[in-house]
Amino acid sequence: MHLDSAQEKLLRGEGGEAKQLAMEIVTGVGDAVGADSLVPIVSAHVLAHFSSLHEAGIDVLEKFAGAGGKFAVPTSVDPASIDLQNWRSFGIPEEYAKQQFRLCDAYAKLGGMRCWTCVQYQVCNFPKQGETVAWAESSAVVFANSVIGCRSNKITAGMDVACAILGMTPRFGMLNDEDRVAKVAFKVAAGDLSDLDYRSLGYCIGKSAGSRVPVLAGLPAGVGSDQVKHLGAGAAAAGPVTMIHLPGITPGTGALRDATKGESVEEIEVTRSSLEEVESDLTQTTELPDLVAFGVPHLSAGELGELARMLEGRKLKKGVKMYAYTSSQAYDMAGRTGIASTIEAAGARITHSTDAEISPLKRLGFDVVMTNSAKLAEIVSAEGEVKIRYAPQKQIIDEVCA
């Protein structure tokens, strides 16, 4: 990989220990993936949750912070493994919280934005079309490439912090025009789509596309950004998808031929039976859940409002908890507008700065989790600690509420 003279100096340590370590990481990864150079980024998004990073992740962030490292570009952060404000009331063990707060402290010393959300593009990190970023959250990477039209690979832990400190990332994959061309085409032929269908549709794409960039045709004209958010999350959870061409939504993709550059590609039809198969595959039990989890990725303020409308005048059944995961910004708005009080009156709770997929669900005493998130269902199913039920939001509420 070619380095210019300034980059060579950083690799030799002339810019300090933190930048030297960062250069060693990004050049090592860049050489491994066949990148030809390093390119500047306008923002980064990093991981700092204890459940995935463990002690090794703490060591990396503290090493960078202790060496005087500072983020060179605006850098947002994915959710923590605990609700940073209300962790005690959720039953988080103090020792577990202490480890998470070590990560929080190291991240703060590096100069990061303390947003703690997986939907940073909705609240604090707003790249423009054509800009290059280095983001670690898989669902956000799909949204960035597919909807915003900026460019990002899915950046791994450790590499994410290194890119943020340097303000650079290796050029490969989604940063190259030729690697963004669609190689497989999906067509929706499933009738009207429910909230769950968008998630299941994404899951179908992720399972079938493999390493190929997909294009998806047949979405309703009025599809919203939240629906696309969940579609991309399902795809990224089921496979290595980092971009989905959505004709009429993705910048530069007005039609299928724009995504494929006129080349003939495999075509796959997604039918109603395809979506029902996903529901079956992601459901492991018919037991009543002890936890209902909404908001993987984080719910927007609009989605919290819809949840409040569905819960108004109802009460959770005994033995069932319901958590709605969201960003701190949407959490504050829900409190100011009365949305939170309606949700809480039903016996549910809104939680922010954390996410179900990176929470210690088993340690908190949960055995059966019911959700409408394909991403959460896939990740929790793979971990095997708790059982999953995957269903539409209305069905869930009707089952667990009186």
pLDDT by residue for the chain (402 residues), tens only, comes to 999 999 999 999 999 999 999 999 999 999 999 999 999 999 999 999 999 999 999 999 999 999 999 999 999 999 999 999 999 999 999 999 999 999 999 999 999 999 999 999 999 999 999 999 999 999 999 999 999 999 999 999 999 999 999 999 999 999 999 999 999 999 999 999 999 999 999 999 999 999 999 999 999 989 999 999 999 999 999 999 999 999 999 999 999 999 999 999 999 999 999 999 999 999 999 999 999 999 999 999 999 999 999 999 999 999 999 999 999 999 999 999 999 999 999 999 999 999 999 999 999 999 999 999 999 999 988 777 899 999 999 999 999 999
- At residue 91, the pLDDT reads 95
- At residue 385, the pLDDT reads 86
Q: Are both 5-177 and 283-400 of the same fold?
A: yes
The token pair that represents 341 in the structure block: 């009080």
CA distance 309 to 94: 35
Query: Which residues are within 8 A (CB) of 69 and not within 5 positions of it... i.e. 6 or more apart?
Result: 18, 19, 21, 22, 110, 161, 165
Residue showing tokens 């701190």: 328
The CATH superfamily holding the domain 283-400 is Aconitase, domain 3 (3.30.499.10)
In which order are the strands placed within the sheet that holds 75-77? 75-77, 43-46, 133-135
- At residue 382, the pLDDT reads 77
- At residue 381, the pLDDT reads 82
pLDDT, tens digit (0-9, with 9 covering 90-100), for 305-343: 999 999 999 999 999 999 999 999 999 999 999 999 999
pLDDT, tens digit (0-9, with 9 covering 90-100), for 251-288: 999 999 999 999 999 999 999 999 999 999 999 999 99
Cα-to-chain-centroid distance, residue 55: 22
- At residue 15, the pLDDT reads 97
pTM confidence score: 0.96
Element (H, E) at 371: strand 368-371
CA distance 94 to 92: 6
Q: In CATH terms, is domain 5-177 a member of 3.30.499.10?
A: yes
The token pair that represents 43 in the structure block: 């923002």
- At residue 383, the pLDDT reads 75
pLDDT, tens digit (0-9, with 9 covering 90-100), for 338-355: 999 999 999 999 999 999
Boundaries of every domain in the chain: 5-177, 181-273, 283-400
